[in-house]
């Protein structure tokens, strides 16, 4: 089954039937493989996040969960498999060594602009103020008029509790404040899906709460999210769907209650015990 899709590369035309069937899905991943220099990190992942889903991706270190998330916006190019964002598959073609390469850079940029990502280490642009960071993508990628972008950016920053830090430079903010600004930067593009890559792992313990509470609010608004996290209690709380990754495959998935209260696989039981 895995071999079948390695050859079936992604450029199939979209017919209307397929479109309507996937209209509800925000992110659809089919049989995704990724290897780094011969090491298989992802070994056939299929996963669908419907609109409004909050999918928590958990697993030990090296299980491939960050790689999986980074494949969704093609920061990592999958070796094989298919990814579609709101029914639109990335156009890929087979490269020299058989691995996939992007076929249409513009399409990827267009889709990426509507998939905000929140990074473990914030990655705000330090030469711009917090407000400018949030305005950057709307103004320069989405071509929103500057005044409109400014008004929206300051509303969003207000929402994440940084209304008084608009003109501050990122390096003068605490980690928690920087991460909240990074979340506002994502909200500013009106994302189809928000990708969170361990958003609290680089934070001091006392700052984790303020970031989680912002994410919790967003989850309550039924925004689509893919969330790689180590915060099990939080995952259990906000996720609509939990995916347990081990060794490059989805070992178990289900509702938070299923995963955390009646795990079936031995590994998941051990994992929950070890992080609890």
Residue numbers at the binding site for another protein (CB under 8 A): 73, 75, 105, 108-117, 119, 121, 123-127, 136-137, 140-141, 164-165, 167-169, 171-174, 185, 189, 195, 206
CB 194 within 8 A of CB 218: yes
Minimum distance of another protein from residue 120's CB (angstroms): 9
Residue 122 vs 234, nearer CB to another protein: 122
Q: Tell me the backbone φ, ψ of residue 97, rounded to 5 degrees.
A: -95, 20
Residue 7 vs 171, nearer CB to another protein: 171
Chain centroid to CA 74: 11
Burial class (CB in 10 A: 0-12, 13-18, 19+), 67: buried
CB 100 within 8 A of CB 77: yes
Cβ-proximal residues to 32 (8 Å cutoff; 6+ apart), any chain? 42, 44, 45, 46, 68, 71, 78, 80, 81, 82, 83
Q: How far apart are CA 108 and CA 99, in angstroms?
A: 17
Minimum distance of another protein from residue 261's CB (angstroms): 35
Q: Name beta bridge partners: 197.
A: 228
Q: Which of 183, 50, 191, 225 is nearest to 114 (CA)?
A: 191
Q: Which of 54, 50, 49 is nearest to 256 (CA)?
A: 54
Residue 98 vs 163, nearer CB to another protein: 163
Minimum distance of another protein from residue 197's CB (angstroms): 10
Minimum distance of another protein from residue 157's CB (angstroms): 13
Residue 126 vs 145, nearer CB to another protein: 126
Residue 153 vs 268, nearer CB to another protein: 153
Minimum distance of another protein from residue 173's CB (angstroms): 6
Residue 206 vs 221, nearer CB to another protein: 206
Q: How far apart are CA 62 and CA 59, in angstroms?
A: 8
Minimum distance of another protein from residue 20's CB (angstroms): 26
């Amino acid at each position: 089954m895995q071999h079948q899709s390695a050859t079936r590369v992604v450029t199939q035309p979209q017919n209307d039937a397929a479109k309507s069937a996937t209209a509800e899905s925000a992110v659809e991943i089919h049989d995704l493989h990724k290897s780094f220099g011969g090491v298989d990190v992802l070994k056939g992942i299929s996963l669908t996040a419907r609109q409004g889903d909050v999918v928590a991706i958990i697993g030990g270190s090296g299980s491939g969960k960050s790689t999986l998330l980074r494949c969704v916006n093609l920061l990592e190019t999958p070796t094989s498999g298919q990814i579609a964002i709101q029914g639109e598959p990335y156009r890929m073609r087979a490269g020299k060594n058989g691995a996939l390469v992007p076929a249409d850079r513009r399409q990827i940029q267009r889709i990426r602009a509507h998939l905000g990502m929140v990074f473990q280490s914030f990655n705000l642009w330090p030469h711009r103020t917090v407000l400018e960071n949030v305005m950057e993508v709307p103004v320069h990628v989405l071509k929103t008029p500057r005044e409109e972008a400014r008004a929206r950016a300051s509303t969003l920053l207000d929402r994440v509790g940084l209304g008084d830090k608009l003109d501050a430079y990122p390096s003068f903010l605490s980690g928690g404040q920087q991460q909240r600004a990074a979340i506002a930067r994502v909200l500013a593009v009106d994302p189809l899906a928000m990708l969170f890559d361990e958003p609290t792992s680089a934070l001091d313990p006392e700052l984790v709460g303020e970031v989680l509470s912002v994410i919790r609010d967003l989850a309550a608004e039924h925004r689509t999210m893919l969330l790689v996290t180590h915060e099990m209690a939080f995952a259990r709380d906000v996720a609509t769907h939990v995916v347990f990754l081990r060794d490059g495959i989805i070992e178990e998935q289900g509702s938070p209650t299923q995963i955390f209260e009646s795990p079936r696989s031995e590994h998941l039981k051990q994992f929950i015990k070890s992080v609890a």
